[in-house]
Amino acid sequence: MELNGTTAIVTGGGSGIGAALATELAARGARVVVGDLDLSGASRVAESITGAGGQAVAVEADAAAVTGIEAMIARAEADFGPVDVYVANAGVIGKPGLGDESDWDVILDVNLRAHIRAARLLVPGWQSRGSGYFVSIASAAGLLTQLGAAGYAVSKHAAVGFAEWLAVTYGDDGIGVSCVCPLGVETPLLQGIRAADDPDARVGSSSIEHSAPVISAADVAHVTVEAVQADRFLVLPHPELVEMYRRKGSDYDRWVAGMRRYQRTLRAL
């Protein structure tokens, strides 16, 4: 997809991967709506983009709520024109372990239903125009799993599945989809897991940091935007993940046993 002159929305754009994606898209010529619950963070990112000569506006919005998504779309259309690219980046790690009903409601809303709600609002217009692009920021947890946090693992698996379904169902209508699955990325989310006292959370943090080198949000943004330009579905910022995913698929029982051993090792640290 040619990004110069397009209109893009990035959710969770006030920090971390979202901020890096907004900046990278603007550097490629996109006009960006930076959406976030934290308006001050979104505003800092938008001001940084405009200060560098790009075009961006900040919107305080809940990316998991239909009203929040509608507000971002309305601002994009008012300031820049119809939305061409939607980056579903906002995400939460959720509670460690199994959590309770309210925990599951939150994590499924943010990590999955937010994507579904955005697609329902945008896909009909993209079909009529014959173009549009959906970027799902999922996680390696959606291809492997996440030790210590059931909600995160399950919601990210579901996000990958939804992105696959979008790509299969609407690819012939000119709608592109990229699904991004990094391992450890130096972001406020990872920093929060590191600082947690819960033993399951500590296992989760250790599993992320021992699996592969932790990379920067800018690294993820760079490979993601290149994938959008190339219309490539699966984006793996960590090359190590390819072999991990192959080993899982080639012998599932062996992989599960290996993950149990890995979990025991991390709990003993």
CA gap 29, 137 in Å, rounded: 21
> What is the phi-psi region of residue 104: left when phi exceeds 0, alpha when psi lies from -120 to 50, beta otherwise?
alpha
Give ∠ CA 240-231-137 in degrees, rounded to 5.
55
- Catalytic, 86? Answer no
Dihedrals phi, psi of 106, to nearest 5 degrees: -65, -50
Q: Which of the pair, 214 or 44, is modelled with greater confidence?
A: 44
Question: How many C-beta atoms lie closer than 10 Å to residue 203's C-beta?
Answer: 23
What pLDDT score was predicted for residue 201? 67
For residue 91, the surrounding DSSP H or E stretch is none
The predicted model gives 223-239 an average pLDDT of 97
pLDDT at 269 over 90: no
* Predicted confidence (pLDDT) at residue 225 exceeds the cutoff of 90: yes
pTM confidence score: 0.93
User: Residue type for 140, please?
Assistant: A
Task: Give the tens place of pLDDT for each residue, 60-80.
Answer: 999 999 999 999 999 999 999
Question: Side-chain half-sphere of 161: how many Cα atoms within 13 Å?
Answer: 10
Query: How much is the mean pLDDT over the chain?
Result: 93
Per-residue pLDDT, 265: 87
Mean pLDDT on 194-201: 67
Q: What is the DSSP letter of 109?
A: I
From the list 86, 133, 152, 170, the catalytic residue is: 152
Which residue in this structure is represented by tokens 């890995």? Answer: 262
Q: Which two tokens stand for residue 216?
A: 């920067």
